[in-house]
């Protein structure tokens, strides 16, 4: 069963600002390369694309933010 996500205004703004797409975020949520535990009990969904890591931060079923980083070694846990 798919999780019903709540899309905050912030994540919608970040998708536009960072030239991403809702479809990409949905793909990351449905087919992550890994999911790790973040601060405050949040979950972080990771997807490696080329040499970049896309991170979707969630709090329960609330989508907090999304961003791209080239600091793969810093964040990637390999799980």
Looking at residue 12, which CATH number applies to its domain?
3.30.1450
Average pLDDT, the chain: 94
Report phi then psi at 77, rounded to 5.
-100, -15
Task: Please state the pTM of the whole predicted model.
Answer: 0.91
What 3-state DSSP class applies to 35? strand
Helix, strand, coil distribution of the chain in percent, nearest 5: 30, 35, 30
* Per-residue model confidence as pLDDT tens digits over 35-64: 999 999 999 999 999 999 999 999 999 999
Number of domains in the chain: 1
- Residue 1: inside a domain, yes or no? no
Residues 6+ apart with CB under 8 A from 16: none
pLDDT score of 3: 81
pLDDT at 75 over 90: no
What pairing do the DSSP bridges indicate for beta strands 6-7 and 62-69?
Answer: parallel
pLDDT at 1 over 90: no
- Residue 68: inside a domain, yes or no? yes
């Amino acid at each position: 069963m798919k999780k019903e996500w709540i899309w905050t205004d912030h994540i919608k703004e970040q998708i536009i600002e960072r030239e991403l797409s809702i479809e990409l975020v949905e793909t990351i949520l449905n087919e992550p390369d890994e999911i790790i535990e973040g601060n405050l009990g949040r979950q972080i969904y990771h997807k490696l694309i080329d040499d970049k890591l896309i991170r979707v931060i969630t709090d329960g079923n609330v989508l907090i933010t999304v961003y791209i980083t080239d600091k793969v070694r810093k964040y990637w846990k390999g799980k």
